[in-house]
Amino acid sequence: MYEHFETGAIHDVHERNAFGALAAPIFQTSTFVFDDAKQGGDRFAGVDDGFMYTRLGNPTVRFLERKIAAMENAEACVVFSSGMGAISGTLLTLLSSGDHIIADPVLYGCTFALMSHTLPRFGIQVDFIDCSDIRAVTAAMRPNTKAVYFETPANPSMKIMDIQTFCAAVHGAKADCLVITDNTFATPYLTRPLGLGADIVLHSATKYLNGHGDVVAGMAAGDASTMAQVRSVGHKDITGAVLSPNDAFLLLRGIKTLKYRMDIHCQNAQRVAEYLSRHEKIERVYYPGLPTHPGHEIAKKQMGQFGGVISFDIKGGFENARGLIDNLDMCVLAVSLGDVETLIQHPASMTHSAYSRQEREAAGFTDGLIRLSVGLENAQDIIDDLEKGLKTVFI
């Protein structure tokens, strides 16, 4: 392990291959040849840890898992073919009918749909409780509470959780209750939740870890025993959400520049957030880098920088939000985040459309909220595009 993140992202977990290739080779194969029947049997029995079938393991994919585990200071990692694959595969491994889970109400829309609509179908009880109210969370815990789940920064309101304080309280109330956190917005460059007491960290690796908008992937990281369960149950048997070797290769390439991309994302986002916070037509800006953000001091404590995503309410609500989005030239109207391009979208009708109006209000975000994933363009060009759009809306 190297002291500096950027060096570790490039050099940690390096393996020599048969031909001495600098980049990890793409092992684009579905199955693997055994030397003899005994070796095949030993591999399926777990006596020999060699490869058998790419759904069960692949050298390119396994190299990526070791790389991400090192970045998150985890014992092990399992990568999936999507972020939702990682979330559902992990939860369905660890939860059974009759179990109880507590989740913060501010979640990615598909995560919220999984917890509010799908898990209850299988007899898994879910309570949505504001996880910033630690007393409310611990008071709601039951003997069958198996996990507490939250995001920080949370999508789309940029809510910040005090990971260390929260984990200590939950584990103090129930030592075997797992704390699971989605670290997509922060990345391991800005925050490492496992070092703050979390048990499992999840990512949509589609976003910043890849960074170029050409891969869909997810990951779970934690202790070796738990990840072995996730691999053998949620990954292998329940979801089959296997990442392709080619996508693993692209992720390995993207990770090498994560530090440098995140630096610019964060610097640009700070400038854009400050611009929006001063604009007379913007009702409110949600960005932890602003001193007015309620989680600013916590973010200063647990994040190296404040991230690349901003949310804001425009005066006039939904109609003006749609008007602004439709009158931009450079900012791209698209969901997802963490790409080199600046992406803008409307959560209530897009990524968080699974929420009802009442559920959105309970989670603390409005129909007029806009989410902006600030890219790597020149910050002034992003600001100029937003200024032009705002002038068009407010003629």
What are the pLDDT digits (tens) for 129-162?
Answer: 999 999 999 999 999 999 999 999 999 999 999 9
pLDDT score of 254 more than 90: yes
Residue 308, domain extent: 258-393
Whether 374 and 269 have beta carbons less than 8 Å apart is answered as yes
The CA distance from 64 to 254, in Å, is 11
Judgement on whether residues 128 and 247 belong to the same structural domain of the protein: yes
Domain boundary among 197, 222, 255: 255
Q: Which of 182-186, 257-261, 347-351 has the lowest mean pLDDT?
A: 347-351
Distance of CA 111 to the CA centre of its chain: 11
Judgement on whether residues 222 and 364 belong to the same structural domain of the protein: no
Judgement on whether residues 193 and 79 belong to the same structural domain of the protein: yes
Domain boundary among 206, 237, 255: 255
Quote the pLDDT of residue 12: 77
Q: At what angle do helices 379-393 and 258-278 cross, to 10 degrees?
A: 40
Judgement on whether residues 226 and 302 belong to the same structural domain of the protein: no
> Minimal CA–CA distance to 345: which of 368, 314, 370?
370
* Count helices and strands in the chain by DSSP H and E runs: 15, 12
Judgement on whether residues 152 and 250 belong to the same structural domain of the protein: yes
What CATH number corresponds to the domain at position 326? 3.90.1150.10
38 is catalytic: no
- DSSP SS3 for 181: strand
Q: What is the largest CA-CA distance in the chain?
A: 77
Judgement on whether residues 291 and 237 belong to the same structural domain of the protein: no
149 is catalytic: no
What CATH number corresponds to the domain at position 251? 3.40.640.10
| Those residues with Cβ within 8 angstroms of residue 349's Cβ, 6 or more apart along the chain or in another chain | none
Residue 317 backbone zone (phi > 0: left; psi -120 to 50: alpha; other: beta)? left
Q: How does pLDDT run across 47-95, given as a tens digit for each residue?
A: 999 999 999 999 999 999 999 999 999 999 999 999 999 999 999 999 9
Q: What is the count of structural domains for the chain? A: 2
Quote the pLDDT of residue 19: 77
Between the CA of residue 157 and those of 108, 161, 278, 335, what are the distances in Å?
A: 10, 12, 19, 15
Residue that has been written with the tokens 């994933």 in this structure: 373
**What is the residue-wise DSSP string for 194-252?**
GGGT-SEEEEETTTTTT-SS----EEEEE-HHHHHHIIIIIIIIII--PPPHHHHHHHH
- The active-site residue, picked from 182, 199, 247, 313, is 182
Judgement on whether residues 28 and 141 belong to the same structural domain of the protein: yes
Domain boundary among 224, 255, 286: 255
Judgement on whether residues 198 and 290 belong to the same structural domain of the protein: no
* β-strands 218-222, 76-80 pairing: antiparallel
- The active-site residue, picked from 62, 67, 104, 108, is 108
Confidence of residue 357 (pLDDT cuts 50, 70, 90): confident
Whether 149 and 103 have beta carbons less than 8 Å apart is answered as yes
- The active-site residue, picked from 207, 259, 360, 371, is 207
Judgement on whether residues 87 and 114 belong to the same structural domain of the protein: yes
Q: Nearest 5°: phi and psi at 389? A: -65, -40
Tell me whether the omega of the peptide bond preceding residue 153 falls within 30 degrees of 0, making it cis. yes
Distance of CA 141 to the CA centre of its chain: 25
pTM: 0.95
Judgement on whether residues 175 and 36 belong to the same structural domain of the protein: yes
207 is catalytic: yes
- The active-site residue, picked from 55, 142, 388, 391, is 55
Amino acid at residue number 364: G
Judgement on whether residues 151 and 289 belong to the same structural domain of the protein: no
Judgement on whether residues 211 and 309 belong to the same structural domain of the protein: no
